[in-house]
């Protein structure tokens, strides 16, 4: 997909017009234990990792059709959780099922990148237009402070060993999908106590790997980082200025839910589209 076209259509890649998106919450499980992540099923919290329920891949067409009734401005169908999109086959299967049905919609996927390098061809083959990878450090010692551990091919890793493994896989994966023409955005969760002075290094590394836009998300203090401070507007501005020396910076993130529907900052039709799903049909698998 041409990057200029992506920036015209995708609200998370700088689209100037009112463009909408639907997030399909098809991925329950995760392979990364982020210290700031608290995945929940509810219909009240407005943040990543939250959904009213986890839906089945074969239900995706129905929900997209329903979303288009409420929000004809939809330009993107995305999968951003609530778990990781590459920790199972559910996201790839979903994109395959909706394939030719909605050619006008960009296909967007978000991932922590742990399995991106080895699953890059799956991402490319299913026709993903835009990929967002969350990269919180490019130094294993710093990454080790952001996560409690990870599970990779059935083995649990912790500390700097885990940090080195995920960083290596993230950067290698970004290189592969970017080289194939997928437009890559990188998200970083800004934690003043951990990676505040590391932002420039992350931005430089991901730009060199092939990412073209960078988004800094201020920490929502929760879970194991509940005692950390929420970054201020000044903290965020300084971090963005540092990142901007290396890569184009996106500045309008809305902390979207995993089942968000509508135009970011303007409307949200998730409850209407996913009505009646609070009684979850699946439970999250933590690990």
Three-class secondary structure of residue 179 per DSSP? helix
Question: Would residue 187 count as lying in a domain?
Answer: yes
Q: In the structure, what pLDDT confidence band is assigned to residue 11 with cuts at 50, 70 and 90? A: low
Question: Would residue 281 count as lying in a domain?
Answer: no
Question: Would residue 34 count as lying in a domain?
Answer: yes
Residue 174's region, left for phi above 0, alpha for psi from -120 to 50, else beta, is alpha
Question: Would residue 140 count as lying in a domain?
Answer: yes
Question: Would residue 280 count as lying in a domain?
Answer: no
How many independent structural domains does the chain possess?
1
Angle at 63 between CA 263 and CA 216, to 5 degrees: 40
pLDDT tens across 44-59, in order?
555 566 666 788 999 9
- Percentage of the chain with pLDDT > 70? 81
> Please, what sign has the CA dihedral across residues 267, 268, 271, 272?
positive
Quick one: 131 exposed, middle or buried, by C-beta within 10 A (0-12, 13-18, 19+)? buried
Q: What is the pLDDT of residue 262?
A: 78
pLDDT tens across 99-114, in order?
888 988 989 999 999 9
> What is d(CA 61, CA 264) in angstroms, rounded to the nearest whole number?
21
Q: In the structure, what pLDDT confidence band is assigned to residue 284 with cuts at 50, 70 and 90? A: very low
Does residue 18 register a pLDDT over 80?
no
Question: Residue for token digits 């999250």?
Answer: 284
Can you state the percent helix, strand and coil of the chain, rounding each to 5?
35, 20, 45
Three-class secondary structure of residue 176 per DSSP? helix
Asked if residue 141 has a cis previous peptide bond (ω within 30° of 0), the answer is: no
| Mean pLDDT, residues 192-206 | 97
Q: Taking a C-beta distance cutoff of 8 angstroms, is the pair 239, 203 a contact?
A: no
C-alpha distances out from residue 232 to 137, 190, 237, Å:
20, 10, 9
Question: Would residue 283 count as lying in a domain?
Answer: no
Q: What is the pLDDT of residue 104?
A: 86
Calculate the CA dihedral of residues 250, 109, 49, 190 and round it to 10 degrees: -30
232 Cβ contact partners less than 8 Å away, ≥ 6 residues apart:
none
How many C-beta neighbours within 10 Å does residue 181 have? 11
> What is d(CA 86, CA 179) in angstroms, rounded to the nearest whole number?
19
Question: Would residue 93 count as lying in a domain?
Answer: yes
Q: What is the pLDDT of residue 282?
A: 42
Question: CATH number, domain at 253?
Answer: 3.20.20.70
Higher pLDDT, 278 or 49: 49
Mean pLDDT of the chain: 86
Task: Tell me which residue range forms the domain holding 109.
Answer: 3-275
Q: Taking a C-beta distance cutoff of 8 angstroms, is the pair 23, 83 a contact?
A: no
Q: Taking a C-beta distance cutoff of 8 angstroms, is the pair 63, 55 a contact?
A: yes
Q: What is the pLDDT of residue 6?
A: 59
Does residue 139 register a pLDDT over 90?
yes
C-alpha distances out from residue 211 to 5, 131, 132, 207, 215, Å:
16, 9, 9, 5, 11
Question: Would residue 282 count as lying in a domain?
Answer: no
């Amino acid at each position: 997909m041409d990057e200029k076209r992506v920036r015209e259509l995708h609200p998370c890649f700088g689209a100037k017009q009112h463009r909408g998106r639907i997030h399909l919450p098809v991925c329950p499980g995760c392979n990364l234990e982020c210290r700031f992540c608290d995945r929940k099923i509810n219909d009240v919290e407005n943040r990543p990792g939250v959904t009213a329920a986890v839906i089945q891949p074969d239900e995706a067409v129905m929900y997209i059709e329903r979303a288009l009734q409420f929000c004809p401005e939809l330009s993107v169908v995305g999968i951003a959780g609530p778990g990781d999109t590459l920790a199972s086959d559910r996201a790839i299967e979903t994109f395959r099922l909706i394939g030719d049905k909605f050619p006008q919609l960009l296909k967007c996927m978000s991932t922590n990148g742990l399995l991106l390098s080895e699953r890059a061809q799956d991402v490319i083959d299913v026709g993903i237009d835009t990929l967002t990878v969350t990269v919180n450090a490019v130094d294993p010692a710093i990454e080790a402070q952001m996560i409690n551990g990870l599970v990779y091919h059935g083995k649990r890793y912790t500390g700097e060993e885990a940090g080195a493994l995920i960083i290596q896989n993230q950067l290698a994966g970004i290189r592969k999908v970017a080289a194939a023409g997928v437009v890559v955005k990188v998200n970083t969760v800004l934690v003043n106590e951990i990676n505040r002075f590391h932002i420039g290094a992350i931005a430089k590394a991901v730009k060199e790997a092939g990412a073209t836009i960078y988004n800094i998300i201020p920490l929502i203090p929760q879970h194991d980082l509940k005692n950390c401070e929420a970054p201020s507007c000044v903290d965020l501005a300084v971090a963005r200025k540092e990142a901007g020396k290396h890569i184009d910076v996106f500045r309008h993130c809305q902390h979207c839910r995993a089942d968000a529907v509508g135009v970011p900052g303007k409307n949200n039709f998730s409850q209407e589209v996913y009505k009646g799903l609070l009684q979850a049909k699946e439970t999250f698998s933590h690990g």
